[in-house]
Structure 1
Amino acid sequence: MLMLDNSLLPHIFLWKLSQNYGPLMSLRFGFKPTLVVSSAKMAEAVLKTHDLDFCSRPSLRDAMRLSYNALDLSFSPYTDYLKEMRKLCVVHLFSRVQKYRPIREDEVGRLIVKISQLSVDSKPVNLSEAMMCLSSSIICRIGFGKRYDDAAERSRFHELLKETEAMLLCFSFSDYFPFMGWLIPQKEDLIDVLLRIRMDREFPFDLTIDHIKAILMNVFIAGTDTAAATVIWVMSALMKNPECLKKTQAEVRDLVGKKGFVNEDDPKVWKNPEEFCPERFLGNSIDYKGLNFEFLPFGAGRRVCPGMRIGVAEVELVIANHLYKFDWEMPTGMNKEDLDFDTVPGLAVLKKMILSLWLERFMINRASL
């Protein structure tokens, strides 16, 4: 059995191990054989060439309890059921990116107003907390037509989400999603769509309440931390690179103003991989959609994330508004060298320390437009 180095995060330890033993390693965790892939070439072989051989999931006791006996997307083995379930999500749920645009814009607008007041009061903004609140509000409204206005209720929701993820990482989970009791019939939220499909028997299988809860569990866990973490990392990297921040802000403001571990740190693939350089993607055919194995934020193959479009739409809107409407600075007594880029284990790669920044509202010169 491999004894992991407790001083390193698992993906860092395995990456370092691959430097000695190669990009494709066969390990055993107890009695479980495990294949560790650490290069774009090997990832393409696994996720594309031999995708059908690797796209299923093993039957793990705690994962079965978590996913209502593998009725969700994440832990279901690759069967006709999974194919139909992914089709249901892609066609009926995650295709509604434009329909939910008003929700995203409303929530981002509320956030802008809130942090604008902090700039007036000369208070720093805790971006880590703000992004988590934003992501959960958007996903709750999209999923159930409800937002959490009460601070205590919102805090409880976040704690439940953190506990859920912690239990998942420990391979132990208790089922709870106490959101089924209230529905808004005049709207068609994700839960309405699923219940309608169940009632109309539009699905090839008998769609049960457990199926619906399993899908919604995926939506919540995958749709909250990931978007929030992405924005936090982008803002952290921009604050670490002031010239890049200025250039990005100028580009966003120019555009808007005129209208009123595959290892993505592999030096064999990327020049200076740990350096924040978004320009590396300009004129580069590599994108994030799962066809280029040097960069796989949403996975690839038959298990690629079906909610990719919704996640990208949210992150793009949030970052563009933050860069357009505010000038950002490090808190008093801190400089860019003080930024910590350590991570913590999780379903998403979360920043270990919260990101707290000073901001000043950007005043638009209407006369020049």
Structure 2
Amino acid sequence: MPHLALRSLAQKYGPILFLQLGEIPTVVVSSARLAKEALKTHDLALSSRPQIFSAKHLFYNCTDVVFSPYGAYWRQIRKICILELLSAKRVQSYSFVREQEVARLVRRVAESYPGTTNLSKMLALYSNDVLCRVAFGRDFSGGGEYDKHGFQKMLEENEIKTSANLSLFQSTFDQMVTEHLNPMREKEEHKDLVDVLLDVQKEGSLEMPLTMDNVKAIILDMFAAGTDTTFITLDWGMTELIMNPKVMEKHKLKSSIASSCSSVGPKRIYGTCNDRWIRYSAKTRIFVNAWAIGRDPETWENPETFEPERFWGSNIDFKGQDFELIPFGAGRRGCPAVTFGTATIELALAQLLHSFDWELPTGTRAKDLDMTEAFGITMHRIAHLIVLAKPRFA
């Protein structure tokens, strides 16, 4: 696991390391102070992204928001995504979607009682449904299309960056675009992101016109980044709460969320960056080990212990201004979906804690749970969370 190995190296050699990874000169930052220098002080110099072969292959030559090089095109598509899907106003306008999908999540879990439920799958369905309804105008799970299209399989393969599922991705999004281009299609009251992108492309009013491949790259970005991250945060959060029933009791009345810090994606030096601690040529890759920073004993008391209450009354925020906790990254390339993600996660977590008494299946103890991570763009548990959820208001 690279995030663990890199933390071990940092503990031995210090919070900034230079590594030669094959032909790639690489700098790894593992402290809040140095992360601030990299992501704020030198944000512009470190604002681009490496042109990784697999990303070029999967994301239509890196024309998506995540992997697109820093410049006018990236600023243009990021602005479209924020205005049409991720702004506070737009997130609020889709509150009815979140409320309906959380109600459906609670209903699905309740229907499994008195048997056990695969909570991991339920959470994946929920995160998928919210994103697909607001971005694509589609409910994929209602008619069994989640399994039909193999969304979970696509996400898992995307996470480890295989190209075997490229044709499956392309055919799914080709179908989605075709549906939106159909003039007879029954439209929702609100235009979804695909409608907006197609309108923008048709108008040709942008400084840099969008191609159909650009549209598909952005759609794929929203799907991959908007579903898996929500799912794994809820899955890890519920796993930790169920393993720590005393902590869960505290949070049934006062719900709080502590997002697990996965590693921030690699950045590439855009120009040459010179100061007292860094002087490297262009194309050096910079990794900020957000996972290690979120567990730094110099910042956090009992950093390896699950204590969400540590955030009650804390001045440390998670939205990219306090570098001790950066689950959404920071700076120009920080995640633009902070408002969307927190709204989607908080409502679901609060309702799950409020609606059920949670236990592990008979004969299963907390120490029996397989906590192995599957390493990828984000890190989800390999094993599904199987639990017993007793409705509190039946």
Residue in structure 1 matched with residue 327 of structure 2 by the alignment: 297
1:363 aligns with 2:388: no
1:288 aligns with 2:299: no
1:30-56 CA-to-partner distances (Å, cap 9, x unmatched) read: 111111111111111100111111111
Residue in structure 2 matched with residue 159 of structure 1 by the alignment: 153
Residue in structure 2 matched with residue 61 of structure 1 by the alignment: 53
Structure 1 runs not aligned, ≥5 long: 1-8, 253-260, 365-369
Counterparts of 2:63 and 2:335 in 1: how far apart (Å)?
Answer: 16
The one-letter amino acid of 2:359's match is E
1:349 aligns with 2:342: no
Q: Is the contact between residue 60 and residue 217 of structure 2 (CA under 8 Å) also seen in structure 1?
A: yes
**Which of 2, 5, 10 is the aligned partner of 2:2?**
10
Secondary structure (helix, strand or coil) at the match of 1:28 reads strand
**Which of 206, 209, 222 is the aligned partner of 1:206?**
209
**Which of 72, 78, 87 is the aligned partner of 2:64?**
72
Counterparts of 2:17 and 2:133 in 1: how far apart (Å)?
Answer: 43
**Which of 177, 181, 187 is the aligned partner of 1:180?**
177
1:195-250 CA-to-partner distances (Å, cap 9, x unmatched) read: 12222334321122122111111101111111011111111111122111111113
1:328 aligns with 2:358: yes
Secondary structure (helix, strand or coil) at the match of 1:328 reads strand
Residue in structure 2 matched with residue 314 of structure 1 by the alignment: 344
Counterparts of 1:283 and 1:100 in 2: how far apart (Å)?
Answer: 29
Tell me the CA shift for residue 172 of structure 1.
10
Q: Is the contact between residue 238 and residue 245 of structure 1 (CA under 8 Å) also seen in structure 2?
A: yes
Counterparts of 1:153 and 1:214 in 2: how far apart (Å)?
Answer: 20
Residue in structure 2 matched with residue 243 of structure 1 by the alignment: 246
Secondary structure (helix, strand or coil) at the match of 2:358 reads strand
Matches within 5 A, 1:79-228: 79-95=71-87, 96-119=90-113, 122-148=114-140, 149-151=142-144, 153-154=146-147, 156-167=150-161, 176=170, 177-178=173-174, 179-183=176-180, 184=185, 186-187=187-188, 188-228=191-231
The one-letter amino acid of 1:350's match is H
Secondary structure (helix, strand or coil) at the match of 1:268 reads coil
- Equivalenced residues, count: 345
Counterparts of 1:24 and 1:49 in 2: how far apart (Å)?
Answer: 16
Matches within 5 A, 1:266-285: 266-285=296-315
Tell me the CA shift for residue 153 of structure 1.
4.7
Matches within 5 A, 1:36-55: 36-55=28-47
Q: Is the contact between residue 125 and residue 146 of structure 2 (CA under 8 Å) also seen in structure 1?
A: no
Tell me the CA shift for residue 17 of structure 1.
1.2
Secondary structure (helix, strand or coil) at the match of 2:252 reads helix
Residue in structure 2 matched with residue 5 of structure 1 by the alignment: none
The one-letter amino acid of 1:248's match is H
Q: Is the contact between residue 62 and residue 173 of structure 1 (CA under 8 Å) also seen in structure 2?
A: no
Tell me the CA shift for residue 57 of structure 1.
1.5
Of 311-320 and 243-252, the range deviating more from structure 2: 243-252
Secondary structure (helix, strand or coil) at the match of 1:142 reads helix
Secondary structure (helix, strand or coil) at the match of 2:50 reads coil
Counterparts of 2:55 and 2:232 in 1: how far apart (Å)?
Answer: 24
The one-letter amino acid of 1:234's match is G
1:251-284 CA-to-partner distances (Å, cap 9, x unmatched) read: 35xxxxxxxx332111111111111111211221
Identity %: 39
TM-score, length basis structure 2: 0.83
Secondary structure (helix, strand or coil) at the match of 2:44 reads helix
Q: Is the contact between residue 325 and residue 361 of structure 1 (CA under 8 Å) also seen in structure 2?
A: yes
Residue in structure 2 matched with residue 35 of structure 1 by the alignment: 27
Cα 1:341–1:161, aligned 2, differ >3 Å: closer, same or farther? closer
RMSD of aligned Cα (Å) = 2.0
Structure 2 runs not aligned, ≥5 long: 256-288
